[in-house]
């Protein structure tokens, strides 16, 4: 029978934790099963599976807990097609079944109380139900009444079915942390035989303790396992037996323990299972003491138990094979007890319902529960608060750079976190969500009757993508249709051949570059289609490959989820489709702000719904000393966030247990007109208040008491009933994952203005390297125009690769040309006549090269003054100043090492009057001073050169002759001179020229040769330490020196053999040398003179090699006869 609608209702009570309540199945794989599993109610249903496998139709839902309490429970299952309402004791759980089918196809009978054998694997050897049922109704039929009147076939019923509910009454005992139950047993007996059932949530506790005649017996729960300790001390010998069995026995279920111990034998069994039985045959001699303590032992003894108390319940207690008479204990005639509750088990499942949100795993003890939030993306006592930022915009304003990030647009809302690509550009933050459709996917064989439908799946769910597009300022998605004899939109009847499906499963008949309601492509919008009769290139039905491409920008329709292609079935027709990633920028939620201008102004919203868990987060800035951020009231309940003083933020609430206030004290004033972030959370476990990620306080909720926050008034933002109103700005106010639209409400509220200015006071520190923070309505941006850097925070290196002969020229005094662009005029005015006579320079550059010599930077003037940064022939770095007053330029040897080693190096140099400071790489700055005879003014600065000098005015001919050819070969970056970035300007000009743009004719920068943008001069590597003082006698072979007493250990004794061989060779060589010396001396016995020619200026730079000094000599023929020596 195929059933589209079911209503099943029944009531049951039982003391068993397992058992099938009802079951039905069909030949097609359909089934429905309701059963108890670990005292929870499990409903499994399958309405049939499709051709891909049975697992697709299976649906499993669990509800309830501790249903083996021998109380009546009511169950109702209502199904209509795939929608199911599953109700237990008035609590309804709604779900939708998996699969594709709507009918429950049952070929066999529907059984209650058990599962008859059908030969299908769904049975699985499950237990039948043991207990009572009543009021069984199935689709209007009273099954209980029909069975009683024998209107049903009961031949398959088991014999122990009756129509009365027999009380299988147990007598549980409840223990708290101060309880114990003392029971008598047999004294002076050689066998201990005890058993009981227990249930608890605690991993540890004392279950049973007994003082034997000559020792102790302990049964404890340790880390969820049963552990037995038997200690016997006699005059002859000490006996000790330890047994361990079971695991995770603190799951709240009833577990049975049985122990038998006698001479040289002990056996422990848990839950009556043979596999759990643990035996010991260690030497043992037992004599019972006659008294047993259960659930606690607080007396002093020579060997005290490892645990002192137990929280939980026990029943079915056996002492020395005799059932304990708890009725007699209750009357006081047998045993003793303290603080126990008889005939009840006050166990509570604190994880049902599960207060751990977002998939957090609940773990409980007898008194409390905790949540494990690992791997969920949330934290807090109930896994309520997201650990991720809501958008790429938020990551940028934490100072992050472009990367892949986890975002959570609705915070603590139902949407989980997901990964996106964040691209932080200079003025926008782009969020990119990728899809799985390969580019240029080929489509053939489709027609209007049988379209090919391509599914576009994204790296996140449609709800998550929708959250991005909803809050974004702009979204776009590239879509491209390449065609050959495949029409796109144009059809005789108006319905296009191809369409796409967007958000909300709605079909759209426009293409990229067009808009909603306009059935055109991009070429149709600007009248550029290849055939003017059509509005798409592909609609011309050409036999050559054509293309219609463009951006879809109506964000309410995005993203593209399907594309249906319908004209590729003709001979020779083919199409290729590309759907690009979804790209959005902006986050209206993050910048949604309102300014409160009067103390009596406020915004009001609907009542805040945060009964069991509430989180509130926002940014504020103010110069006022106090003010209420928000407030919501109930009868007695309330919630309020307030700035109480310039350094104190308060979070107060009342859920019926009395007012609670949390305060955070800041070390610095919060009314400094900068943005500060407040986060407050309240749940049934704790309350938390945090300010600026630095100051945090929390308070645990009371173990007993009210937990629900019940409010009824409107939510007031900016005031509390008109008192202590807030003056300032509030931004990004989010409550339980929902951002309140402050801007829209502020537009219709007097005393409150939409938006808030002044972001640079808080975020300006992120603009690095001299970048200027510029205010925007919804944030800020870093202006990098006057820096040598690019990027959203002016941290991206701008560098260029120089080939031989490439140079960059920056003229500080260009001739003004009418009609020049604004940028050109700004650059021109940076160093105009008032500034061309300099007493201060700031120079920054980074370079990497493997060739020397080279001129890195040369600044010329209209006089003989100049500044040069050069690499000499040996790769060492030198800075030269010629400001007049000296016979020779003032030269500074910055470093003696070879810096032409292919690694990047940074130079930071500044001069003020005579003081010069130079820093190389990460080493401390070195200070130098111009001689007193030197002028301090750099007169008439004219041109700056990079890489090579090509100057028609006054230059240093010696410098040019030695270092200007063939020119710098390598990379330069981060080049800046007194606020001018010449290399950045040159690269921009090169990019404009490549893009065929037409900049203004007047530009202070020009270049020659091939200039290619590169970043190879960025991030200097770790290099060897600089010498603290120049070495006057540098060695060409720096590896010649070897540390003393350093021995290189080579395995297998190679050292000794090498030493012997080396010694022999040394003796032979020494003998030959001595012979040669003797012969030479004999042949050249006359007294000789030779000429030395020490280069002029070699004393100025002792580190320069002798060869270099000779090369630089003006007159190599000069002979000094005073230098005569003997040749030996």
Give the model confidence (pLDDT) of 457-477 as tens digits: 998 899 999 999 999 999 999
Reported confidence tier of residue 55, pLDDT bands at 50, 70, 90: low
Q: Which of 65-69, 138-142, 894-898, 994-998 has the lowest mean pLDDT?
A: 994-998
Report the Cα 735 to chain-centroid distance in Å. 22
The b-or-e profile of 738-768 (16+ CB within 10 A means b, else e) is bbbbbbebbeebebbbbbbeebbbbbbebbe
The span from the CA of 1007 to the CA of 1010, in Å, is 8
The whole-number average pLDDT for the span 889-917 is 89
User: Which segments of 425-490 are extended strands (E)?
Assistant: 429-433, 441-443, 452-455, 474-484
Q: If you average pLDDT over residues 122-131, what whole number do you get?
A: 74
**CB distance 470 to 390 below 8 Å:** no
Q: Parallel, antiparallel, or unpaired for β 854-861 and 752-754?
A: unpaired
Closest CA to 653 of 595, 603, 613, 694: 613
Would the pLDDT of 897 be above 50?
yes
Element (H, E) at 724: none
Token pair belonging to 646: 């310039």
1025 pLDDT more than 70? no
- State yes or no: pLDDT of 287 exceeds 90: no
d(CA 652, CA 680): 10
The pLDDT mean for the chain works out to 82
**349 vs 1058: which has the higher pLDDT:** 349
- In this predicted structure, which of 146-160, 608-622, 785-799, 872-886 has the lowest mean pLDDT? 146-160
Token pair for 269: 């069994």
pLDDT of residue 390: 92
* The pLDDT of residue 537: 92
Q: Which DSSP string corresponds to 897-929?
A: S---SSS-EEEEEEEETTEEEEEETTSPPEEEE
> Residue 463: phi, psi to the nearest 5?
-65, -40
> Looking at residues 712-733, what average pLDDT do you find?
84
Q: Is the pLDDT of residue 1085 over 50?
A: no
| Of the listed ranges 104-108, 561-565, 1005-1009, the one predicted with least confidence | 104-108
**pLDDT band at residue 1111 under the 50/70/90 scheme:** very low
The predicted structure's pLDDT at residue 962: 84
Among the listed residues 808, 809, 784, 806, the one whose alpha carbon sits nearest the alpha carbon of residue 794: 784
* Residue 833 to residues 827, 882, 955, 1012, Cα–Cα distance (Å): 13, 20, 21, 32
Angle at 262 between CA 276 and CA 235, to 5 degrees: 130
Instruction: Specify whether the CB–CB gap between 344 and 172 falls below 8 A.
Output: yes
Specify the pLDDT at position 996.
Answer: 62
- Residue 1096, pLDDT > 60, answer no
- Compute the average pLDDT of residues 837-853: 88
Tokens 């489509």 found at? 443
Taking alpha carbons only, the member of 43, 40, 44, 11 closest to residue 30 is 44
Number of H helices and E strands in the chain, helices first, is: 12, 73
Question: Bridge partners of 37?
Answer: 40
pLDDT of residue 388: 93
Cα(907)–Cα(939) distance, integer angstroms: 24
Confidence category of residue 995, pLDDT binned at 50, 70, 90 = low
Element (H, E) at 1120: none
Closest CA to 580 of 439, 399, 728, 401: 439
Give residue 226's pLDDT: 94
Q: For the purposes of burial, counting CB atoms within 10 Å of the CB of 831, is it exposed (0-12), middle (13-18) or buried (19 or more)?
A: buried
CB 204 within 8 Å of CB 222:
yes
CB within 8 Å of 832: residues ≥ 6 apart: 813
User: What local confidence, expressed as pLDDT, does residue 244 receive?
Assistant: 92
| Residues contacting 481, CB < 8 A, separation 6+ | 488, 498, 511, 538, 547, 548, 549, 575, 576, 577
β-bridge mates for residue 233, sequence order: 238
CB 535 within 8 A of CB 489: yes
Is the pTM above the cut of 0.85?
Answer: no
Quote the pLDDT of residue 997. 53
73 pLDDT band (50/70/90 cuts)? very high
pLDDT at 956: 83
User: In this structure, what token pair is assigned to residue 749?
Assistant: 């509220």
CA–CA distance, 772 with 734 (Å, rounded to integer): 31
3-state secondary structure of 1009: coil
Beta bridge partner(s), residue 192:
261
Mean pLDDT score, 710-715 = 89
Phi, psi at residue 189, to the nearest 5°? -110, 155
């Amino acid at each position: 029978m195929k059933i589209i609608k079911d209503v099943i209702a029944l009531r049951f009570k039982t003391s068993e934790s397992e058992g099938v309540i009802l079951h039905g199945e069909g030949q097609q794989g359909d089934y429905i099963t309701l059963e108890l599993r670990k005292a929870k109610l499990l409903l499994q249903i399958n309405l049939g599976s499709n051709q891909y496998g049975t697992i697709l139709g299976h649906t499993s839902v669990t509800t309830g807990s501790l249903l083996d309490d021998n109380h009546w429970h009511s169950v109702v299952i209502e199904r209509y097609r795939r929608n199911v309402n599953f109700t237990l004791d008035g609590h309804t759980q709604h779900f939708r079944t998996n699969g594709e089918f709507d009918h429950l196809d049952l070929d066999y009978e529907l059984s209650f109380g058990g599962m008859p054998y059908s030969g299908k694997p769904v049975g699985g050897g499950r237990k039948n139900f043991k207990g009572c049922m009543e009021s069984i109704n199935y689709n209007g039929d009273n099954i209980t009444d029909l069975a009683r009147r024998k209107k049903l076939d009961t031949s398959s019923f088991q014999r122990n079915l009756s129509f009365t509910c027999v009380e299988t009454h147990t007598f549980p005992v409840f223990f708290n942390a101060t309880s114990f139950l003392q029971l008598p047993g047999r004294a002076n007996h050689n066998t201990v035989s005890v058993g009981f059932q227990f249930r608890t949530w605690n991993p540890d506790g004392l279950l049973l303790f007994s003082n034997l005649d000559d020792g102790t017996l302990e049964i404890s729960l340790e880390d969820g396992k049963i552990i037995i300790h038997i200690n016997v001390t006699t005059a002859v010998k000490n006996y000790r037996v330890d047994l361990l069995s079971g695991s995770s026995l603190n799951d709240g279920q009833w577990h049975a323990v049985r122990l038998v111990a006698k001479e040289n034998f002990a056996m422990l069994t848990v839950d009556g299972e043979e596999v759990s039985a643990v035996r010991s045959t260690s030497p043992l001699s037992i004599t019972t003491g006659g008294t047993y303590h259960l659930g606690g032992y607080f007396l002093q003894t020579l060997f005290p138990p490892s645990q002192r108390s137990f929280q939980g319940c026990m029943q079915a207690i056996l002492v020395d094979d005799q059932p304990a008479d708890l009725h007699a204990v209750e009357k006081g005639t047998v045993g003793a007890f303290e603080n126990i509750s008889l005939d009840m088990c006050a166990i509570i499942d604190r994880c049902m319902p599960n207060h751990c949100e977002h998939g957090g795993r609940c773990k409980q003890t007898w008194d409390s529960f905790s949540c494990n939030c690992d791997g969920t993306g949330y934290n807090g006592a109930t896994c309520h608060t997201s650990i991720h930022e809501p958008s790429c915009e938020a990551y940028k304003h934490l100072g992050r750079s472009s990367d892949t990030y986890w975002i959570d647009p609705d915070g603590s809302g139902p949407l989980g976190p997901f990964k996106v690509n964040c691209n932080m550009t200079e003025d926008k933050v782009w969020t990119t969500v990728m899809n799985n459709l390969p580019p240029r996917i080929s489509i053939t064989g489709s027609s209007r009757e049988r379209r090919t439908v391509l599914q576009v799946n994204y790296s996140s769910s449609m709800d998550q993508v929708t959250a991005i597009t909803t809050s974004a300022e702009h979204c776009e998605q590239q879509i491209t249709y390449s065609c050959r004899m495949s029409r796109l939109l144009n059809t005789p009847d108006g319905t296009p051949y191809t369409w796409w499906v967007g958000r909300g499963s709605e079909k759209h008949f426009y293409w990229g570059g067009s808009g909603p309601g306009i059935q055109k492509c991009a070429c149709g919008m600007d009248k550029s289609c290849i055939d003017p009769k059509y509005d798409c290139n592909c609609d011309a039905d050409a036999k050559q490959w054509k293309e219609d491409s463009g951006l879809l920008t109506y964000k309410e329709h995005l993203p593209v989820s399907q594309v249906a292609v319908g004209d590729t079935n003709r001979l020779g027709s083919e199409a290729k489709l590309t759907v690009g990633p979804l790209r959005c920028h902006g986050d209206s939620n993050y910048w949604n702000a309102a300014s409160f201008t009067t103390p009596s102004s406020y915004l009001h919203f609907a009542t805040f719904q945060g009964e069991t868990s509430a989180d509130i987060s926002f940014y504020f800035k103010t110069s006022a000393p106090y003010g209420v951020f928000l407030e919501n009231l109930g009868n007695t309940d309330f919630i309020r966030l307030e700035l109480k003083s310039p350094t104190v933020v308060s979070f107060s609430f009342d859920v019926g247990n009395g007012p609670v206030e949390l305060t955070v004290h800041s070390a610095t004033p919060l009314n400094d007109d900068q943005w500060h972030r407040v986060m407050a959370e309240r749940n049934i476990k704790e309350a938390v208040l945090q300010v600026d990620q630095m100051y945090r306080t929390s308070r645990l909720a009371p173990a007993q008491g009210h937990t629900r926050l019940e409010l009824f008034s409107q939510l007031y933002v900016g005031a509390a009933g008109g008192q202590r109103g807030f003056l300032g700005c509030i931004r990004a106010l989010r409550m339980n994952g929902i951002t309140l639209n402050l801007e829209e409400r502020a537009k219709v509220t007097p005393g409150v203005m939409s938006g808030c200015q002044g972001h640079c006071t808080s975020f300006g520190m992120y603009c690095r390297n001299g970048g200027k923070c510029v205010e925007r309505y919804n944030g800020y941006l870093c202006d990098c125009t006057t820096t040598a850097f690019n990027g959203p925070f002016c941290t991206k290196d701008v560098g260029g690769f120089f080939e031989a002969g490439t140079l960059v020229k920056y003229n500080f005094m260009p001739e003004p040309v009418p009609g020049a662009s604004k940028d050109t005029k700004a650059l021109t005015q940076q160093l105009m006549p008032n500034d061309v006579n300099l007493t201060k320079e700031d120079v920054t550059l980074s370079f990497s090269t493997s060739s020397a010599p080279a001129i890195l930077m040369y600044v010329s003037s209209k006089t003989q003054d100049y500044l040069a940064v050069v690499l000499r022939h040996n790769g060492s770095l030198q800075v030269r100043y010629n400001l007049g007053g000296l016979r020779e330029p003032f030269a500074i040897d910055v470093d003696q090492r070879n810096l032409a080693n292919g690694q990047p190096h940074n130079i930071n140099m500044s001069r003020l009057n005579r003081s010069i400071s130079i820093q190389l790489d990460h080493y401390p700055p070195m200070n130098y001073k111009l001689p007193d005879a030197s002028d301090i003014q750099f007169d008439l600065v004219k041109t700056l050169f990079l890489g090579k000098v090509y100057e028609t005015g006054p230059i240093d001919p010696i410098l040019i002759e030695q270092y200007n050819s063939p020119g710098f070969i390598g990379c330069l970056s981060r080049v800046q001179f007194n606020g001018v970035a010449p290399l950045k300007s040159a690269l921009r000009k090169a990019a404009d020229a490549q893009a065929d743009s037409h900049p203004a004719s007047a530009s202070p920068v020009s270049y020659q040769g091939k200039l290619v943008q590169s970043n190879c001069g960025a991030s200097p590597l770790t290099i060897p330490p600089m010498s603290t003082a120049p070495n006057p006698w540098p060695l060409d072979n720096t590896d010649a020196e070897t540390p003393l007493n350093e021995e290189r250990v080579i395995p297998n004794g190679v050292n000794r053999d090498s030493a012997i061989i080396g010694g022999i060779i040394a003796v032979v060589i020494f003998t030959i040398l001595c012979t040669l010396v003797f012969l030479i001396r004999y042949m050249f016995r006359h007294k000789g003179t030779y000429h030395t020619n020490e280069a002029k200026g070699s004393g100025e730079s002792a580190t320069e090699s002798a060869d270099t000094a000779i090369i630089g000599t003006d007159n190599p023929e000069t002979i000094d006869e005073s230098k005569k020596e003997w040749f030996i």
